[in-house]
Amino acid sequence: MRDINLKATEYFEAVARLGTVTKAAQELGVSPSAVSQQLTSLESQLGVKLFRREKRRLILKLDGDRLFQTTTQAFRALRNASSAIGRQRDMRNITIRVSPSFGVRWLGPRIATFAEQNPDWNIRVDATPDYSAFDTEAVDLDLRYGVGNWSGLTVEPVVNDLSLPMCNPDYLAWLQRQSDDPVEQLKHARLIDSVKTL
């Protein structure tokens, strides 16, 4: 069997739902004879009569009812898909690249609140330690740790991070005995552990 004619199916669905060729033609914006031709074509293709005439209405036969149930579901699915595509098109899209640790500790809690308050935004988070190549990658925003002197980019600080070296008092006393400037000595010391809170 050939694929079913979608136009004929659309006309059939309108007639089955509205009960008359005239009402279906009005809804579809075509002539009643155009609707009748499509119904005849569909019945011929399927090899069955889909309606029986009763007074001034068309009543679905068993095969017609089965086809009507299926076409109703199919057209509903098409309308839903079309609406979803339209909503997706209307959404504002943004891709944010962020280092994994900063994403978990700082961005994660904030992005959930932002998404609740801005349901028309479609937010994609790319958690990676790599910096963005804005000229070749589809990244709108890159949240990075640094002083912010990246040429060619607009940079806005989001967190004022205070870094403090900490050490055992005995180690500090040892550093002071080694040099008059223990901070300078710390620049060359081996980092054992780092704990950040954002």
**Top-confidence residue, 102 or 67:** 67
- Geometric angle at alpha carbon 128, from 124 and 129, rounded to 5°: 145
Tokens of 44: 């011929």
Q: Is the pLDDT of residue 16 over 70?
A: yes
Tell me the residue type at 191.
Answer: L
Stretch 31-56: mean pLDDT? 93
Question: Is the pLDDT at 1 greater than 80, yes or no?
Answer: no
163: its two tokens: 């870094």
DSSP state of 2: P
Domain 6-88 sits in CATH at 1.10.10.10
CA distance 82 to 89: 10
Structural fold of domain 91-143: D-Maltodextrin-Binding Protein; domain 2 (3.40.190)
Look at strands 121-127 and 92-98 and give their pairing: parallel
Q: Where are the domains of the chain?
A: 6-88, 91-143, 163-193
Exposure string over 15-43, b if 16+ CB within 10 A, otherwise e: bbebbebebbbeebebeeebbeebbeebb
Distances (CA, A) of 100 to 122, 129, 149, 191: 20, 7, 21, 21
User: Is residue 90's pLDDT more than 90?
Assistant: no
Q: What is the pTM of this model?
A: 0.46
